[in-house]
């Protein structure tokens, strides 16, 4: 107001602006718009969306993005700006690679969801970022919302991992699940997946294992510290797998999944990396057998910590956007750490209760006599609690007769109140066991 | 050699010493000795173990720790030294709390596995660390080797989590699994667990849910940003759960686990935190139902990313030590980032093959005629491959007869070689489908 110059930080930002990390989005498709939504909805954050780049940007504009955001088709607008972090969610190799290189050279850090690009030239881009004192993060390039890159790189940094097993392609997992559940041929399951949007019109990348192969190459690099060219990883199609194979698999106590597998072994004194993406039989007791629909799962095995499992949504705008924003925050944190502004997260102090609303399990042990159920039913209904089922195991002694009442959804406190009265009844041999049904 | 002073970094270390992060261990029990082992065995690391503190330290000395490490009973030795990171794995509230405070005040960062201490005064200690420009990390305090603290704090930082469900106590999970599998009474399962070292002589903390409650309080803080006193979280014992309850649960399509549950809800315009540790029925299809023995599992649910699962070994020296070393590395990384020395990890470039050794699944589709099995068996045995089983689904047409041969463990390349010959045989209607059995 007084016309005095505002104090400026080293990078030329005003002191107020320096509190913010400016973010530019390259690409405003499914993932890009989800990232924008999270950035705009998020309270108490130092992140500020400043640019959105897309081809034909005029038709992309939406009203829920602040007017301060600049919409552009020109990368130069972003390279010349005071953007701190460039988020690449356009896909494709070019111009994505060139723009990422130029952003790093221009002193901006980068977050990318581009698995093909990272599988191909991740180490080069990381070295370029390092030489420019910037960061490049690529958590969203593998397994969408499942934080497996940070998990193996940071969470398990203390271990020496030697094996990674994963379900990394939701399309294949969906198709195989459908063959398994509905006994349909492969071709039918594929058509169904395409109709529902789970598979592309040209499903080659998914079905043949090329999509998962790029992700496995990235995981091998981050988790096993092996710089492996994706072309060196063998792949096999899931197309020959048919419903008869699930019948046979079941007889062997197994099911079939597309498995990405990388394992470091010492053979004849030198290390080798076993790696492949292929349909495989997995034991029904394995977490891999339980992965449903389009979800992803990774099992990392280490010398010290044994098996660690990461699972969740492997694709989709919102889950992938979570991975993008988590990486943006990681970069922002390390920029702040360098400035010693790594303040503790503000905490809420809400009311704490255990009054969950669920179905309930009430197991009684009684000395049998007529009218017990009627008595209990009356006491429960007086409090507006509805009985769902009554079960009694046959052949138990009358003096210690166990039986079960399940209740429809209601608040735990209502049940506890009823039980205070019920537990004083003389036919109970021990207090009622009460558990929620999740 | 020339007597010239070596160049010194700001903290008074020589330039060579400044490449290292010095680590002191408080406590040399199960976890402490595992941490020492990882630090001593780890190649290419900037971490250097310099001190080990324990009561009666003389009887603790082992020969696999370098002679340069100082063994001591006196915390002052460590506080006065150039240690960068103090690792507290002694347990108990005092003197752990006092020593951690003094370490932070002395300008050292801290890693602790002490759940009771962190549940009680984590925010205070974090604030103290921040005021001293140090870090305190407590990943190993929850779920041992499962990287769930870094997972929810960093990996899922981009989401807004509102629910955390977990199996956080291996002792309870082991006992409940035993009742389920062997149909034994609770008391027998507990005695068995005590005999095998899965439960303490006084199992109160575990059975009554107090151990899991401390961990849930920490998770609610880190994941849901709720500062909740552990005493406010309701607990219920698993002691009343008996084998009859597993029979009833099974009839409902469920099993029973000790569940730690925290969920943020808006009720009447204000936020409340539902939180409890209790035995609960969980659907058999839930990942919670599949947690075996002493393993841990956490499901975090967010507004954008949906459910994410973290699972692994929740206790034990080695897994917990992995969590400790991962936190040490995180601190070392952020110290390095501040100095811009965050170099890319060196990468191996091993030979890449897909020649896994497994059992194999070979599914044939043939035009039936006598002698097919004999022909295949001969071709396989010529290459030293042993047949494990032959299965044939009844009622299929002779012109398209599917059958299955499974093979004993052997290298994939052996099988591929045999299949080259086999796939040229005229009775095959389509090429053999070959998959590994994991």
Per-residue pLDDT of chain B (438 residues; tens, 9 = 90+): 344 444 444 455 555 556 789 999 999 999 999 999 999 998 767 899 999 999 998 899 999 999 999 999 999 999 999 999 999 999 999 999 999 999 999 999 999 999 999 999 999 999 999 999 999 999 999 999 999 999 999 999 999 999 999 999 999 999 999 999 999 999 999 999 999 888 889 999 999 999 999 999 999 999 999 988 999 999 999 999 989 999 999 988 999 999 999 999 887 778 889 999 999 999 998 999 989 888 999 999 999 999 999 999 998 899 999 999 999 999 998 877 655 444 556 677 778 888 888 999 999 999 999 999 999 999 999 999 999 999 888 888 889 999 999 999 999 999 999 999 999 999 999 999 999 998
Token readout for A213 is 């192969």
Identify the residue among B352, B388, B404, B433 best suited for mutation to test binding to A, counting A beta carbons within 10 A and taking the highest: B352
How far is CA A158 from each of CA A341, A357, B35, rounded to the nearest angstrom? 26, 40, 9
Token readout for B149 is 């603290």
Question: Does A61 qualify as catalytic in the annotation?
Answer: no
pLDDT at B16 (0 to 100): 56
Say yes or no to pLDDT of A281 above 80.
yes
pLDDT at B131 (0 to 100): 94
Q: Which residues of B touch A226 (CB under 8 A)?
A: 347-350
d(CA A433, CA B409): 49
Residues B324/B147, Cβ–Cβ less than 8 Å: no
Say yes or no to pLDDT of A16 above 60.
no
Provide mean pLDDT across the span A187-199.
91
DSSP state string for B311-335: EEE-SSHHHHHHHHHHHHHHHHHHH
d(CA A178, CA A185): 9
How far is CA A342 from each of CA A335, B132, B218, rounded to the nearest angstrom? 9, 12, 19
0.95 surpassed by pTM? no
Task: Categorize the per-residue pLDDT at A55 as very low, low, confident or very high, splitting at 50, 70 and 90.
Answer: very high
Q: Which of A60, A108, A115, A215 is catalytic?
A: A215
Give the pLDDT confidence of A341-398 residue by residue, as tens digits. Answer: 445 566 777 788 888 889 999 999 999 999 999 999 999 999 999 999 998 888 888 8
B240:A433 CB<8 A: yes
Provide mean pLDDT across the span A98-121.
97
**What ipTM was reported for this prediction?**
0.88
pLDDT at A17 (0 to 100): 59
pLDDT at A14 (0 to 100): 57
- Strands A70-72, A270-283: pairing kind: unpaired
Q: Which of B60, B108, B115, B215 is catalytic?
A: B215
Smallest CA-to-CA distance from B389 within B412, B362, B369, B414 is with B362
d(CA B314, CA B112): 16
Smallest CA-to-CA distance from B207 within B229, B174, B180 is with B174
d(CA B235, CA B173): 16
Say yes or no to pLDDT of A176 above 70.
yes
Task: Categorize the per-residue pLDDT at A268 as very low, low, confident or very high, splitting at 50, 70 and 90.
Answer: confident
**Distinct helix (H) and strand (E) counts, chain B:** 13, 17
Smallest CA-to-CA distance from A402 within A370, A365, A429, A376 is with A365
How near does any CA of chain B get to the CA of A3, in Å?
A: 35
Could you tell me which residues are beta bridge partners of residue B273? Answer: A352, B264
d(CA A296, CA A280): 16
Total CB pairs under 8 A between chain A and B? 357
Smallest CA-to-CA distance from A390 within A362, A425, A418 is with A362
- Strands A254-267, A161-167: pairing kind: antiparallel
Torsions phi, psi for B77 (to 5 deg): -55, -40
């Amino acid at each position: 107001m007084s016309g005095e110059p505002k104090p400026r930080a080293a990078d030329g930002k005003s002191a107020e602006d320096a509190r913010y990390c400016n973010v530019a989005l390259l690409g405003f498709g499914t993932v890009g718009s989800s990232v924008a939504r999270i950035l705009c909805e998020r309270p108490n954050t130092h992140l500020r969306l400043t640019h959105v780049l897309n081809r034909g940007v005029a038709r992309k504009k939406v009203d829920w993005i602040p007017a301060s955001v600049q919409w552009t088709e020109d990368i130069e607008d972003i390279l010349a700006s005071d953007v701190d972090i460039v988020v690449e969610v356009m896909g494709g190799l070019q111009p994505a690679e060139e723009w990422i290189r130029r952003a790093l050279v221009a002193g901006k850090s980068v977050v990318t969801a581009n698995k093909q690009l990272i599988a191909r030239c991740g180490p080069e881009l990381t070295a370029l970022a390092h030489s420019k004192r910037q960061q490049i993060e690529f958590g969203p390039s593998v397994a969408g919302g499942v934080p497996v890159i940070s998990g193996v790189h940071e969470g398990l940094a203390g271990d020496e991992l030697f094996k990674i097993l994963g379900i990394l392609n939701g399309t294949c997992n969906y198709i195989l699940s459908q063959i398994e559940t509905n006994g349909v041929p492969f071709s039918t399951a594929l058509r169904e997946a395409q109709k529902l949007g789970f598979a592309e019109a040209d499903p080659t990348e998914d079905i043949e294992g090329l999509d998962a192969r790029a992700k496995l190459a990235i995981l091998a690099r981050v988790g096993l510290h092996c710089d492996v060219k994706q072309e060196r990883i063998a792949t096999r199609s899931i197309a020959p797998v048919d419903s008869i194979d699930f019948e046979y698999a079941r007889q062997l106590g197994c099911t079939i999944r597309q498995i990405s597998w990388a394992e470091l072994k010492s053979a004849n004194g030198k290390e080798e990396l076993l790696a492949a993406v292929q349909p495989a039989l997995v034991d029904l007791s394995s977490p891999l057998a339980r992965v449903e629909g389009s979800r992803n799962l990774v099992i990392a095995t280490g010398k010290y910590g044994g098996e660690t499992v990461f699972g969740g949504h492997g694709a989709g705008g919102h889950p992938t956007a979570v991975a993008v924003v988590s990486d943006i925050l990681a970069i922002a944190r390390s920029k702040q750490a360098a400035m010693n502004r790594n303040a503790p997260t503000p905490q809420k102090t809400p009311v704490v209760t255990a009054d969950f609303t669920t179905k309930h399990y009430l197991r009684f042990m009684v000395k049998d006599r007529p009218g017990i159920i009627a008595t209990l039913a009356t006491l429960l209904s007086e409090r507006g609690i509805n009985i769902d089922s009554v079960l009694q195991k046959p052949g138990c002694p009358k003096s210690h007769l166990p039986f079960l009442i399940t209740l429809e959804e209601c608040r735990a406190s209502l049940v506890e109140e009823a039980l205070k009265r019920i537990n004083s009844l003389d036919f109970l041999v021990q207090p009622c066991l009460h558990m929620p049904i999740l």
